[in-house]
């Protein structure tokens, strides 16, 4: 009996394309029943890693097991026990929602309850609509339903909400929460930090082929983003010097707003009082708690429009 | 290989095809339209008849007899040209490619014909014709033959030679009988090659292959489903072509066991070529271009529309390198000449070719990492 304690174990994985080392000796584990969010800038090696785990690509070196099965040797068994929503999921244009799901069920050789799947993904009203008539959100939900036909133990969702409007995104999130409640292990690749923050138990961030951070969203924020950020909207330029004189790291953005790195709520009051005393006016104020986005930008070293944090470093 | 998975893929593809009307048109209706158009243009009617304007300057009993003889078997429909205008002018104005002029002295006894253009004592019947017209040659030949027959009759001598036709074929065959097997082969080739390329490009471009790669579908399942799918389309297309050919042109073709065998071999050959070409056709646009680059030379050089023997020697040699040439040869040997050894030879070459490209195609098609 293979050791299936961990849903996924990635051990010293490398993937090389010619001289390019796309994935550079990474290791991590995904526990059963958790939502694991895999984040990374474009070209960081995210998709390649996912595809190796999904058995679509072969690793240059290292070992990957899914449900205790080696991806190199047990592909046939693994694909039956995982469900995959690829990036930009697409299906046969002229085939209806119900037919598509029935097709995937037949391919997997399982007796899927198509109606229940359509209920779960909110597709029942579109059962007889052909794929090419579906909106982006509906297509993604069909993709998720198709990833579930074989009642998989591990579900891979590659950017499930990219390109969706906020409403459709929320609907997909509801489906994902449903999966979590049903105890599925979910491997989520996403660009959206709020998505990871909202859904994930564990977040791993990959950059330049290496894992640069891995932990729960709360602990990552705690560890990497200790500062909150105050944005002063439509304020006179003189305010910048004022705030800096008070000892706060701050910058003026292209839009004229001033961003200030703060430590606690009292800082906000002190800054606003100082501005008022100087006879300056502020149109609006925005305070952001430290979040995963900051962590992401910090650990991946990606360029950002907000350099308030860096200037004080 | 799993029959259940093959059936699922076959079902999805047939359903997609059925719902894609333009694909239906190009696969089934287009070859049938070609048969109808080319059949109508090139199939000569049993009885030829032509319009023939005649300017009768003689207007005698003899000239009336001549005209009667020309119209006797309805070969020519005579239209009288007024005698007071120039025949050449008339031909130009009325866009006639042939006008026959009966001279004034047509009826005169031989002694009075001196000074007329012509051989010896013969009366000259002038025909005014347009050499740029492609159909006038046949008309002139027919007229010539009728005049020769009349001359021979007037002399009262029995003919010295007669020509007796003896065809190398068991029955009398027309262009349409030559054409139909060619169209069957062409329709199958077009459908297999362009469907294989377009389907693959579409699946790849849209990312469907990426999804399929994470399912239990194997390369063998996919390929067998593709072949069965093309086979079904090919059988329907062949049946449609044959039905129309029988109904409209009353073709005389031999339909036996060879036909389905050749169809199967051709499908495997061209699905195999399609597989080999997929690396060059990653997008839908390039797929059509790649397909056409193969289809057109094959269509015109392999004897689909006209016999290969009509081409210059180097093109004939080139044709013998093309798989469609052997399919055409095999189908014609089986359906027209009913020549088993010849059929077996051409079908065998096609089968060998099919085996090679299919093996190469299977080897080359990568399922997992190709997306």
Q: Is the pLDDT of residue B371 over 60?
A: no
Give B 188-217 residues with CB within 8 A of chain A.
206-208, 210-211, 213-217
First and final C-alpha spacing in chain B = 22
Residue B257's pLDDT band (cuts 50, 70, 90): very high
Q: CB-CB: which of A57, A80, A86 is closest to B207? A: A86
Please return the burial class of A154, using the count of CB atoms within 10 Å of its CB with bins 0-12, 13-18 and 19+. buried
Q: Which string of b and e fits A165-181 if b means at least 16 CB within 10 Å?
A: eeebbebbbebbeebbe
Q: Is the pLDDT of residue A278 over 90?
A: no
How far apart (Å, rounded) are the C-alpha atoms in residues B221 and A106?
Answer: 13
Q: Is the pLDDT of residue A273 over 50?
A: yes
What's the average model confidence in pLDDT over A276-286? 85
What's the average model confidence in pLDDT over A161-185? 86
How far apart (Å, rounded) are the C-alpha atoms in residues A118 and A141?
Answer: 9
What's the average model confidence in pLDDT over A293-298? 79
Q: Does B21 touch chain A (CB under 8 A)?
A: no
Q: Could A55 and B214 be called an inter-chain contact, meaning their C-beta atoms sit closer than 8 Å? A: yes
Q: CB-CB: which of A86, A95, A108 is closest to B216? A: A108
Q: Does B219 touch chain A (CB under 8 A)?
A: no
Highest averaged pLDDT of the listed ranges A237-246, A253-262, B43-52, B324-333 = B324-333
Report pLDDT for A283. Answer: 83
Q: Which residue of A lies nearest to B217 if distances are taken between CA atoms?
A: A107
How far apart (Å, rounded) are the C-alpha atoms in residues B139 and B147?
Answer: 12
Beta pairing, strands A61-66 & A69-70: antiparallel
Q: CB-CB: which of A84, A92, A109 is closest to B208? A: A92
Q: Could A90 and B206 be called an inter-chain contact, meaning their C-beta atoms sit closer than 8 Å? A: yes
Highest averaged pLDDT of the listed ranges A72-86, A172-186, B96-110 = A72-86
Which residue is it, tokens 């020769």? B148
Q: Could A57 and B12 be called an inter-chain contact, meaning their C-beta atoms sit closer than 8 Å? A: no
Report pLDDT for B227. Answer: 92
How far apart (Å, rounded) are the C-alpha atoms in residues A129 and A133?
Answer: 7
Q: CB-CB: which of B12, B213, B216 is closest to A56? A: B213
What's the average model confidence in pLDDT over A79-99? 93
Q: Could A86 and B210 be called an inter-chain contact, meaning their C-beta atoms sit closer than 8 Å? A: yes
Q: Could A106 and B8 be called an inter-chain contact, meaning their C-beta atoms sit closer than 8 Å? A: yes
Residue B349's pLDDT band (cuts 50, 70, 90): very high
In this structure, the number of other CB atoms found within 10 A of the CB of residue B220 comes to 14
Report pLDDT for B119. Answer: 55
Q: Does the ipTM surpass 0.95?
A: no
What's the average model confidence in pLDDT over A79-91? 92
CATH 3.20.20.110 for domain B50-155, yes or no, is no
Report pLDDT for A31. Answer: 94
Average pLDDT, whole number, for chain A? 86
What's the average model confidence in pLDDT over B63-85? 86
Residue B365's pLDDT band (cuts 50, 70, 90): low
Query: Using a CB-CB distance cutoff of 8 angstroms, which residues of chain B are in contact with residue A146?
Result: 211
Q: Is the pLDDT of residue A310 over 50?
A: no
Which one is predicted more confidently, B206 or B16? B16
- DSSP code at position B279: G
Query: Using a CB-CB distance cutoff of 8 angstroms, which residues of chain B are in contact with residue A108?
Result: 215-216
SS3 state of residue B135: coil
Residue B75's pLDDT band (cuts 50, 70, 90): confident
Q: CB-CB: which of A92, A95, A104 is closest to B215? A: A104
Contacts 24+ apart (CB under 8 A), A238-247: A238/A278, A238/A280, A239/A275, A239/A278, A239/A280, A239/A282, A242/A274, A242/A275, A242/A278, A242/A280, A243/A271, A243/A274, A243/A275, A246/A270, A246/A271, A246/A274
Report percent pLDDT > 90 for chain B: 32
How far apart (Å, rounded) are the C-alpha atoms in residues B32 and B240?
Answer: 7
Report percent pLDDT > 90 for chain A: 42
- Selected residue of B1, B13, B205, B214 to mutate for chain A interface (largest A Cβ count, 10 A): B214
Distances (CA, A) of A207 to A22, A32, A62, A211, A217: 10, 25, 18, 6, 17
How far apart (Å, rounded) are the C-alpha atoms in residues A257 and A253?
Answer: 5
Alpha helix stretches (DSSP H) within chain B: 3-19, 21-24, 30-42, 61-71, 87-93, 136-155, 175-206, 208-212, 219-249, 258-277, 284-301, 313-319, 323-335, 340-364
Q: B224 to chain A, minimum CA–CA distance in Å? A: 14
Residue B116's pLDDT band (cuts 50, 70, 90): very low
Report pLDDT for B114. Answer: 47
First and final C-alpha spacing in chain A = 52
Overall size of chain B counted in residues: 371
Residue A34's pLDDT band (cuts 50, 70, 90): very high
Q: CB-CB: which of B216, B369, B371 is closest to A107? A: B216
Q: CB-CB: which of A87, A90, A94 is closest to B19? A: A94
Beta pairing, strands A69-70 & A210-215: unpaired
Query: Using a CB-CB distance cutoff of 8 angstroms, which residues of chain A are in contact with residue B2?
Result: 109
Residue A1's pLDDT band (cuts 50, 70, 90): very low
Q: B17 to chain A, minimum CA–CA distance in Å? A: 8
DSSP code string of B44-101: --SS--EEEEEEESS-SHHHHHHHHHHHTTSSEEEEEPPTTS-HHHHHHHTT-SEEEE
Which one is predicted more confidently, A11 or A249? A11
Which one is predicted more confidently, B173 or B371? B173
What's the average model confidence in pLDDT over A277-286? 85
SS3 state of residue B367: coil
What's the average model confidence in pLDDT over B323-342? 92
Q: Chain A: which residues have CB within 8 Å of chain B? A: 54-58, 76, 79-80, 82, 84, 86-95, 99, 103-104, 106-109, 130, 143, 146, 156
How far apart (Å, rounded) are the C-alpha atoms in residues A11 and A9?
Answer: 6
Q: Could A80 and B216 be called an inter-chain contact, meaning their C-beta atoms sit closer than 8 Å? A: yes
DSSP code string of B311-356: S-HHHHHHHTTSHHHHHHHHHHHHHTS--HHHHHHHHHHHHHHHHH
Q: Is the pLDDT of residue A143 over 90?
A: yes
The closest alpha carbon to B191, from B299, B330, B53, B317, belongs to B299
Report pLDDT for A101. Answer: 96
Q: Do residues A185 and A46 touch, judged by C-beta distance below 8 A? A: no
Distances (CA, A) of A241 to A200, A271, A278: 41, 12, 11
Report pLDDT for B70. Answer: 84
Phi, psi of B72 (to 5 degrees): -55, -50
User: By mean pLDDT, which of A94-103, A212-221, B168-177, B266-275 is the weakest?
Assistant: B168-177
Q: CB-CB: which of A84, A109, A130 is closest to B211? A: A84
Q: Is the pLDDT of residue B120 over 70?
A: no
Q: Could B8 and A80 be called an inter-chain contact, meaning their C-beta atoms sit closer than 8 Å? A: no
Q: Which residue of B lies nearest to A50 if distances are taken between CA atoms?
A: B214
Which residue is it, tokens 């906000």? A268
Report pLDDT for A306. Answer: 43
Average pLDDT, whole number, for chain B? 85
CA dihedral B238, B244, B245, B249 (to 10 degrees): 180
Report pLDDT for B366. Answer: 61
pLDDT digits (tens, 9 = 90+) for A90-132: 999 999 999 999 999 999 998 889 999 998 888 999 999 999 9
Q: Does B366 touch chain A (CB under 8 A)?
A: no
List the domain boundaries for chain B.
Answer: 3-42+174-364, 50-155
Query: Using a CB-CB distance cutoff of 8 angstroms, which residues of chain B are in contact with residue A84?
Result: 211, 214
What domains lie within chain A, and their CATH numbers? Answer: 6-215 (3.40.50.300), 226-311 (3.30.70.980)
Q: Which residues contact A241 (CB under 8 A, 6 or more apart)?
A: none
The closest alpha carbon to B319, from B336, B334, B305, belongs to B305
Q: Which residue of A lies nearest to B218 if distances are taken between CA atoms?
A: A76
Which residue is it, tokens 């001549």? B66
Residue B74's pLDDT band (cuts 50, 70, 90): confident
Report pLDDT for A298. Answer: 77
Highest averaged pLDDT of the listed ranges A137-141, B167-171, B204-208, B289-293 = A137-141
Sign of CA dihedral B296, B302, B303, B306: positive
Q: Could A91 and B208 be called an inter-chain contact, meaning their C-beta atoms sit closer than 8 Å? A: yes
Report pLDDT for A305. Answer: 43
pLDDT digits (tens, 9 = 90+) for B19-40: 988 888 888 898 999 999 988 8
Distances (CA, A) of A110 to A84, B52, B210, B221: 16, 77, 21, 17
User: By mean pLDDT, which of A198-212, A263-277, B281-295 is the weakest?
Assistant: B281-295
Q: Which residues pair with B79 in a beta bridge?
A: B53
Which one is predicted more confidently, A228 or B13? B13
């Amino acid at each position: 009996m293979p050791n299936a304690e961990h849903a996924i174990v990635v051990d010293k994985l490398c993937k090389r394309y010619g001289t390019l080392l796309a994935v550079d000796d990474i290791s991590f584990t995904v526990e059963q029943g958790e939502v694991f969010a895999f984040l990374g800038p474009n070209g960081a090696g995210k998709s390649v890693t996912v595809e190796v785990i999904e058995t679509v690509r072969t690793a240059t070196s290292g070992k990957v097991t899914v449900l205790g099965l080696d991806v190199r040797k047990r592909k046939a068994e693994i694909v039956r026990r995982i469900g995959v929503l690829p990036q930009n999921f697409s299906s046969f244009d002229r085939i209806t929602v119900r037919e598509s799901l029935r097709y995937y069920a037949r391919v997997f050789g399982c007796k899927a309850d198509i109606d229940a799947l359509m209920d779960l993904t909110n597709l029942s009203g579109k059962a007889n609509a052909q794929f090419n008539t579906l909106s982006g959100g509906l297509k993604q939900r069909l993709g998720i339903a198709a990833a579930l036909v074989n009642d998989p133990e591990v579900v891979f969702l590659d950017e499930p909400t990219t390109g969706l409007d906020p409403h459709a995104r929320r609907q997909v999130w509801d489906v994902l929460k449903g999966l979590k409640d049903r105890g599925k292990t979910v491997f989520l690749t996403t660009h959206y930090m709020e998505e990871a923050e909202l859904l994930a138990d564990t977040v791993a961030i990959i950059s330049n082929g290496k894992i640069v951070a891995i932990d729960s969203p709360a602990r990552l924020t705690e560890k990497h983003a200790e500062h909150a950020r105050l944005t002063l909207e439509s304020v006179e330029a003189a305010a910048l010097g004022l705030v800096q004189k008070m000892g706060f790291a701050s910058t003026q953005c292209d839009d004229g707003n001033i961003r200030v790195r703060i430590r606690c709520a009292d800082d906000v009051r002190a800054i606003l009082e100082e501005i008022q005393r100087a006879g300056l006016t502020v149109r609006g104020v925005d305070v952001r708690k430290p979040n995963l986005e900051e962590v992401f930008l910090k650990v991946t070293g990606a360029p950002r429009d907000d350099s308030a944090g860096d200037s004080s470093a | 290989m799993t029959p259940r998975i093959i059936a699922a893929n076959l079902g999805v593809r047939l359903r997609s095809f059925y719902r894609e009307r333009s694909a239906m048109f190009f696969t089934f209706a287009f070859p049938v339209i070609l048969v109808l158009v080319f059949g109508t243009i090139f199939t000569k009617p049993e009885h030829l008849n032509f319009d023939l304007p005649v300017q009768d300057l003689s207007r005698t009993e003899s000239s009336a007899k001549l005209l009667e003889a020309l119209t006797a078997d309805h070969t020519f429909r005579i239209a009288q040209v007024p005698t007071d205008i120039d025949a050449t002018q008339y031909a130009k104005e009325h866009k006639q490619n042939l006008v026959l002029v009966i001279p004034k002295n047509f009826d005169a006894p031989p002694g009075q014909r001196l000074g007329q253009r012509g051989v010896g004592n013969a009366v000259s019947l002038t025909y005014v014709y347009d050499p740029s017209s492609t159909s006038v040659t046949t008309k002139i030949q027919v007229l010539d033959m009728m005049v020769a027959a009349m001359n021979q009759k007037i002399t009262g001598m029995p003919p010295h030679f007669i020509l007796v036709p003896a065809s190398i074929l068991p029955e009398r065959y027309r262009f349409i009988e030559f054409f139909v097997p060619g169209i069957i082969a062409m329709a199958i080739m077009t459908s297999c090659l362009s469907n294989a390329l377009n389907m693959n490009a579409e699946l790849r471009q849209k990312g469907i292959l990426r999804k399929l790669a994470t399912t239990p579908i194997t390369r063998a399942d996919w390929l067998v489903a593709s072949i069965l799918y093309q086979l079904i389309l090919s059988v329907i297309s062949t049946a449609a072509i044959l039905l129309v050919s029988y109904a409209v042109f009353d073709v005389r073709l031999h339909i036996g066991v060879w036909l389905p065998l050749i169809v199967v071999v051709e499908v495997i050959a061209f699905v195999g070529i399609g597989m080999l070409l997929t690396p060059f056709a990653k997008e839908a646009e390039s797929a059509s271009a790649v397909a056409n680059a193969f289809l057109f030379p094959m269509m015109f050089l392999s004897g689909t529309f006209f016999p290969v023997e009509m081409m210059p020697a180097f093109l004939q040699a080139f044709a013998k390198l093309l798989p469609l040439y052997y399919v055409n040869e095999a189908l014609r040997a089986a359906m027209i000449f009913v020549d088993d050894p010849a059929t077996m030879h051409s079908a065998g070459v096609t089968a060998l070719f099919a085996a090679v490209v299919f093996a190469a195609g299977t080897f080359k098609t990568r399922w997992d990492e190709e997306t």
